[in-house]
Structure 1
Amino acid sequence: LLGTIRRATVPLLVLAAAMGATAVGVVPVPVAFFAAALAMVVFRVIPLRDVYRAVDGPILVMLAALIPVSDTLRTTGGSDLIAGWLSGIAASLPPAGALALILIAAMAVTPFLNNAATVLVMAPIAASFATALGYKPDAFLMAVAIGAGSDFLTPIGHQCNTLVMGPGGYRFSDYPRLGLPLSIVIVLVAVPMLMLVWPLH
């Protein structure tokens, strides 16, 4: 019983400490939650062997490889070039249309990359795109984050989609048939909410 109480109490205390530290601004969010994960290992809530087993090597390598790709896009002007092409398309669109364009572009890219990788690649493009059109970048960066996390069109864009494919008896064609209406709903809801919370001007 004591072991059970301890195993339940320590994670709650660690989580509360991490959230409290970020809420009052003592440390940044990444530092606080990395420290929380480390504390879980130090207090033996999670065995070290389970930590090693949970590390997804291919994903880490892919993200590490895409960080310099993202930085190269930004420093060489590649993101500005792509943003310029998108700006040409968006020139005749209203602000909501320009924001929807970035959201849809992120949704289109994430099935072929990973959601985190999509953010790395699309974020500098979205920032340059917003600047070229004279808008604040905040809403466009959030649109990238939402689009990258909204892959409902394929079974390969997110591991959860892949995991349910076999047990659920789904086919590849089931994903766009069911996922496309959901994606449209997300665009219709996300665009006005983004413009409300993060004004473009």
Structure 2
Amino acid sequence: MDEIVKAALRKWPDVPHARGWLGLDIRGHWYLRDEATQAAGPFPQSRGSRIEHEGLCAFIGRNYLCDGAGAWFFQNGPQRVYVELEAAPWVWRLDEAFQLQSHTGAPAQWRGAWLDEQGRLFLDTDLGLGLVHSHDMPLAAQALEQGLWTLNGELGFEELPGRFNYRLSPAVVTDRWEQTSPHPPQPPRG
């Protein structure tokens, strides 16, 4: 986390969380979702505006974290902005040496591989579960064929969040998540 973000958290510790305003798609792109976008439907059906500013994407990536209830967020200064996920918290890119890198640029170490019912490849790593970017599937197939990775099996897409402790939509708060979250949702001020 950036030092400026840590300082803002110390200065303003009680800023309410934001939900529904940020999305992450299956290609690792961030989307800003204003009120009209949110009213038009859930992510990813209603995406919003893709964030293309490299500096802002890098800032989001450096301050992208998970709470104790499996909800991923971007710590924007003193405000926690929860992220709507299209498929998983991470999107993996591979290089020619089969090294994994997340959509945020963080390196990762492979631990396991699963296919969902659509044939998408999800990798468990030391950072958590993520989807292999579609452009890198030929390299991922080579890693499996060469025995560098082992396919653990198939899991239904709906099973993945529970198995790997993440939430696709932190905007949906249930009793179970509120009981386990160290940071329960705050009531609106005003």
TM-score (norm 1): 0.26
TM-score (norm 2): 0.27
Q: Which has the larger radius of gyration?
A: 1
Greater relative contact order (Cα < 8 A, sep 6+): 2
Structure 1 or 2: more strand by fraction: 2
Structure 1 or 2: more helix by fraction: 1
